[in-house]
Structure 1
Amino acid sequence: MDRLPPLPALSAAARPKQPTSEPGDDARCGLFRTALAQPGASLTEAYRRLHDDPRCVRAPAMGLYGRSVEVPGDVDEGTWKMISIRDEIFVAVSECDHACARTESVPPEGFVEFHYLVTGPASVGVGGGQDGDSVQVGAPNFILCYQGAGLRYQITCPQGPRRALGLYVSSRYFARLIEALGVEGETIRARLAAVKDDELYNVQMRLALDAVQAIEQLLASPHEGVRDLLFVEAKCTEILYASVGAWIDSLRDGAQDVILSSRDLMLMERARTLIDADLQKNMTIPDLARAVGTNASKLKRAFKLLHGVTVFEYSLRGRMQEALRLLVDERQSVGQVAAAVGYQHQTSFTTSFRDFYGFAPKDARQLRGSERTRGTD
C-alpha cells in the first residue's frame, strides 16, 4: 500500500520565511510556538527548544519528554502542557483563560492535526495574512486538518477560557497507521493524497462517549513526572484509535469532508473584512455572498468552518466589542452607541448587549484596563 505523499520542496514564493527575531513582546499575543521559539517557528522547532530546556521531564527509554509552559503575558492566563511521543506525536494540552486573542502563523510540516475542544472558544485557522481564518470545534466534536505543502495556516485562540487538546501526528507515523488499517485506511489515504499544495483538507466529526471520556481523563491526569508522560501516551493511543475510527465511519456514511482552495480562503477573508468595515450594516447572506463573489450556500458553510461562528454571530461579536469600546473609551451615550453599531432602537441594543456581556451598557464604564479585557467575553 502506498504511503502518504512526502512533503515536497517549497518554491521560493511558497517557502516560509525564516524567523528573524527572538521571543519577546510578540510572545504576549502568540501561542506556544512563539513562546518557546520565535514568531513563525515550526512546531518541530518549538518542541526541540522544549527538549533542550533543563526543566523538561524525560523518559529517554520510551522516547517521551515534556513539561508545562506558562502562557506569557502581563496576567496569569494558564498553561500549555506539551509532550512529545518519540517526536512523532506532539501533544498540546491547553488550560488557559486568555486575556486577549492569541494567534500565530505556522509553516506546513505535513502533520495530520486532531483538535478537541472541551471548554471555550478555540479555533484553528488558515490564511496567508496576519489575521487568520479560523475553525472552532465544540465538544464532543473534533476537527481534523491537513494542509497542503505550500499553504501556511494559523492557530487562533480567542479571548476567554479554553480547555483543549491538540494532537499533531507526523506524516511518517500516520502513514504507518493507515497502512496497518489495510483496506479501511485506503479511503483516508486517498483523501489526503488528493490535497493540493494550496488547499486545506478538514472534516468535523462527532466522537463517541468513550472517546470523550478518554479526552477528559487525559486533561485531568492525576499523575506527575514520568508517570504522567506514560499516562498521556496511553490515552493518546486510545483517542487516536477512536478518532480515526470515527473518520472512517463518517466517510462510509457519506459525511461531507471539505477541501478549501486558497481562493475560497481569500473570499472568506474578504467577507470578514466587509463585516468589520461597516458595523452599522446588517448585510443579508445573499448580499454578502454577491459582494465577495461566491454563493450563499458556500459562504455559510465555509465561513462557519473557517471562522468558527456563523456570519450573524461574527457580526454580533464585532458590534458588541465596538460598542464596549465606544462606551468605555469614547464615553458616548448609550443611544449614540446603539446607532453607531446598527441598532435603530436603544432598547434592542440594551437587550443584545446584556445578553452578550451579562451586564447593562450603563454599567460598562466601570470596566478599566485588564478588567475590561477579561470581561469582554
Structure 2
Amino acid sequence: MPLDIARTIDKTEYDALWEEADECGDVFWQWNDVERRRTIPKRLGQGETRIIDLHPGLSISIEACQYWRPLHLDYHCIGEGVLLSNFYLAGDRRIINPGIQMEEDREETAGETCLCYIKEARSIEYFPAGQPLKSVGIQMDLEWLRSFGMTWDNAPSLLRLLIEEKSAKSFHQTLHRKTPAMQQALQQILNCPYQGSFKRMYLESKVLELLVLQFDQLLGKQKPSSSTLSFRSTDIERLHLAKAILQRELKHPPSLLELARLVRLNDFKLKQGFRHLFGTTVFGYLQTCRMEQAKQLLSARELSIAEVAHYVGYASPSQFCHAFKRHVGMTPSAYRR
C-alpha cells in the first residue's frame, strides 16, 4: 500500500509500524564486535541506531535516519536515572517536556550540544519529513560520574544537586555550539579505526574528552565573549522581522533554518535572540500566536473546532486540542462554552 507522505505519523501508527516490521523480521539488533545496530522500519524511513556499551554506566548511541513522513509522538517517558549528553550533527527537531526544569519547549538543531536528565515526563516530539537527522548521545550513570570524585561547586544548581543526590528533578540545558575540538572528537568516534578491547578503550577516551569539553562549557571556564551575547541594531531589526513573519505565517510557518535564512541570521543567533528579546523560543512564540488567534476564533463562534485547528496551522483537530489544553488549561470546546 502506498504511503501518504503528507500525513503526519502519530504515536499509535509509529508503534504499529515498528510492531509490523518486528513481526516480519525486518528490524532486529545485529551485534558486531562491541556494538549493536538496528535499522528503522522501511515504511517509516531509512537509517539506523547504533549502541556501544563501553562498560556498566557508560554507553554511546549514534542515530542517523530520515523519515518519509513527519512525526508527532506524544507519550509518557520514564528515564533510567542517567545523565544524557547529546550532540546534534544534522537536522532539526522540536521536543516538549511539560514541567521539566530550564527548557521544557525547545528546538534541537544541528551544531548544538545539550545535557539533560529526564526522570519521568510527558514527551511531545516533532520530527520533519525528508530531512537527514544525525546525533551522537552519551548515557552516563550518576554513580559512574560520582566515581571521579569531582567537585561541582560552580555548576548550575540543578546539576550539582543531582550529582550530590540532593535532588532528582528533570531538566534540559542547551549549551554553546560545538567547538572545533568537540567536532574532531565526534568524527573520531564515528570513524573509530579499532576493534575489540582497543575499540572500547579508544571510544571511552574520546567520550571522556567530549565530556571534559562540555563540562568546561557548563562550568563557565570558557566564558563567551561579550560580542557573542550582544546584538547589533541590524540583528534586533531582523529578529523583529522574524517575529512578524511568524505572526503572518501561522498556517504555514517556515522551519527554523528557513526563518533564519529569510531574515539573514544564523539559526543560533536567531534562537538566542528570541530568548533574549522576547523571553521565549521561536516555536514557543509561534504557539503563543496560534493560541491567541485560536481563542479569538473560538470566541467568534463562526468556525467549527476542526476549522479553527486548520486555520491556525494544525494538521489535525486532535493535535490542536492537545496543544490548546496544554497552553490554555482547558479544551477548545470548554473554552468556547
Residues 4-23 of structure 1 aligned to structure 2 (within 5 Å): none
Equivalent residue number for residue 70 of structure 1: 39
| Paired AA for residue 158 in structure 1 | P
Change (3 A) 1:297 1:188: closer
1:166 partner amino acid: G
For structure 1, the 5+ residue unaligned runs are: 1-22, 37-49, 59-64, 256-274, 282-295, 317-338, 343-377
Q: Residue 303 of structure 1 aligns to which amino acid in structure 2?
A: T
**Structure showing the higher strand proportion among its residues:** 2
Q: Residues 76, 340 of structure 1: CA spacing in aligned structure 2 closer, same or farther, 3 A cutoff?
A: closer
Change (3 A) 1:227 1:136: farther
Are 2:34 and 1:56 aligned?
no
Q: Match for residue 55 of structure 2? A: 86
- Taking structure 1 as reference, are residues 90 and 280 closer, same or farther at Cα in structure 2, changes over 3 Å only? closer
Count of residues in Structure 1 that have an aligned counterpart in Structure 2: 225
Question: How far has the Cα of 1:117 moved from its partner?
Answer: 0.9
- Distance of aligned partners of 1:236 and 1:154 in 2 relative to their CA distance in 1, 3 Å threshold: farther
- 1: CA distance between counterparts of 2:278 and 2:16? 33
Where 1:279 maps in the other structure, the secondary structure is coil
For the 8 Å contact 1:114–1:144, the answer to whether it is kept is yes
- Structure 2 vs 1, CA of residues 176 and 163 (structure 1 numbering), >3 Å: closer, same or farther? same
Match of 1:99 among 50, 68, 80: 68
Query: How far apart are residue 300 of structure 1 and its match?
Result: 4.7
Say whether 1:158 aligns with 2:120. Answer: no
| Counterpart check, 1:303 vs 2:274 | no
Q: How far has the Cα of 1:110 moved from its partner?
A: 2.4
Pair 1:214-2:185 in alignment: yes
Secondary structure of the residue aligned to 1:215 is helix
- Select the residue among 130, 137, 144 that pairs with 1:173: 144
In 2, the alpha carbon distance for the partners of 1:194 and 1:222 equals: 38
Give the TM-score, by structure 2 length. Answer: 0.52
Segments of 5+ residues of structure 2 without an aligned counterpart are 1-11, 23-27, 227-246, 254-273, 291-309, 314-337
Which stretch shifts more, 70-79 or 210-219? 70-79
Once the two structures are TM-superposed, the CA of residue 223 in structure 1 deviates from its matched residue by: 4.9
Alignment of 1:205 with 2:176, yes or no, is: yes
Provide the secondary structure at the position in 1 that maps to 2:159.
helix
1:187 aligns with 2:162: no
Q: Report the alpha carbon displacement of residue 252 of structure 1 after superposing the two structures with TM.
A: 6.6
Residue 142 (str. 1) matches residue 113 (str. 2): yes
Q: Is residue 151–residue 198 contact of structure 1 (8 Å, CA) maintained in 2?
A: no
* Cross-structure match for 2:15: 26
Secondary structure of 2:121's partner? coil
TM-score, normalised with respect to structure 1:
0.47
Q: Which residue number in structure 2 is paired with residue 285 of structure 1?
A: none
CA distance 1:189–1:93, change in 2 (3 Å):
same
| Native 8 Å contact 1:105 1:153 kept in 2 | yes
CA–CA distance in structure 2, aligned partners of residues 141 and 248 of structure 1: 17
Query: Post-superposition shift, 1:68?
Result: 1.4
Alpha-carbon distance in 2 for matches of 1:141, 1:156: 17
In structure 2, how many angstroms separate the alpha carbons of the residues matched to 1:74 and 1:113? 29
| RMSD across aligned positions (CA) | 4.5
Looking at structure 2, the residues matched to 313 and 152 of structure 1 have their Cα atoms a distance apart, in angstroms, of 18
Q: Percent identity among equivalent residues?
A: 16
Distance 1:175 1:213 in 2: 27
| Residues 228, 101 of structure 1: alpha-carbon distance in 2 compared, 3 angstrom cutoff | farther
CA contact (8 A) 1:134 1:154 kept: no
Shift of 1:116: 0.8
Deviations 1:99-121 (A, max 9, x none): 23454642033222111111111
Counterpart in the other structure of 1:271: none
Mark the CA change 1:127 to 1:113 in structure 2 (over 3 Å): closer, same or farther: same
